[in-house]
């Protein structure tokens, strides 16, 4: 079978995934939680919402692994999550981003098959303007890259982009 072409891969640093689930609408909760995290200078590396399910509403996001305690504490504070909402926390995950998808979402299916064949879990996925991002175990992220490199055609000299620093929000902003 002919290999699909992709332009590149990008890895995240180590993250923690929070899944928030409940029966009532998630719109206000998404707004409340993202504002709360922003006010504590916690960056969100990944965000998906499932607001239209008939069974339950789900809101998933990832933050830096070193923010897991702060984030849990904020979410567990009284009044943040409505009654009946549950919070699951999956530590030590990473994101692998494949780009560009050029609206050819058979890439998603091909990666699902390739990862499943190698028992690599997928905890979440989202698409953006040009990329598809997958959440998996951080300890398996190198293996997941190898599987994709074996399964897809990448340009020469395109090693996966690996972050060399972590961004934090500053208290002060310099103007031009």
Site residues for another protein per CB under 8 A: 7-8, 10, 97, 99-100, 128-131, 157-159, 161-170, 172-176
Closest separation in Å from C-beta 103 to another protein: 11
Among all chains, which residue has been given the structure tokens 């928030």?
20
Whichever of 22 and 124 has its CB closer to another protein, that residue is 124
Closest separation in Å from C-beta 96 to another protein: 13
Closest separation in Å from C-beta 8 to another protein: 5
- Dihedral angle of Cα 83, 85, 86, 91, to the nearest 10 degrees: -120
Distance (Å, rounded) from C-alpha 28 to C-alpha 6? 37
Return the sign of the alpha-carbon dihedral for residues 133, 139, 141, 147: negative
Whichever of 48 and 58 has its CB closer to another protein, that residue is 48
Alpha-carbon separation of residue 78 from 39, 75, 83, 167, 172 (angstroms): 17, 8, 10, 29, 30
For residue 100, say if its preceding peptide bond is cis, omega within 30 degrees of 0. yes
Closest separation in Å from C-beta 30 to another protein: 20
Classify residue 60 by burial, with Cβ atoms within 10 Å: 0-12, 13-18, 19+: buried
Closest separation in Å from C-beta 113 to another protein: 23
Closest separation in Å from C-beta 22 to another protein: 30
Whichever of 105 and 168 has its CB closer to another protein, that residue is 168
Whichever of 28 and 162 has its CB closer to another protein, that residue is 162
Whichever of 8 and 82 has its CB closer to another protein, that residue is 8
Whichever of 98 and 147 has its CB closer to another protein, that residue is 98
Residue 16's beta-bridge partner residues? 63
DSSP 3-state of 133: strand
């Amino acid at each position: 079978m002919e290999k699909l072409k992709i332009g590149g891969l990008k890895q995240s640093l180590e993250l923690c995934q929070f899944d928030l689930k409940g029966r009532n609408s998630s719109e206000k909760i998404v707004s409340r939680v993202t504002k709360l995290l922003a006010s504590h200078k916690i960056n969100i590396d990944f965000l998906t919402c499932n607001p239209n399910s008939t069974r339950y509403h789900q809101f998933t996001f990832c933050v830096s692994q070193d923010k897991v305690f702060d984030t849990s504490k904020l979410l567990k504070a009284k009044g943040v999550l409505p009654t009946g909402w549950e919070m699951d926390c999956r530590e030590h995950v990473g994101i692998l981003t494949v780009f560009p998808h050029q609206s050819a979402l058979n890439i998603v299916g091909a990666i699902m098959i390739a990862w499943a064949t190698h028992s690599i879990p997928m905890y979440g996925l989202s698409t953006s303007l040009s990329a598809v991002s997958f959440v998996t175990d951080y300890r398996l992220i190198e293996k997941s890259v190898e599987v994709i490199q074996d399964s897809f055609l990448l340009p020469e000299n395109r090693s996966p982009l690996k972050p060399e620093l972590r961004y934090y929000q500053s208290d002060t902003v310099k103007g031009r």
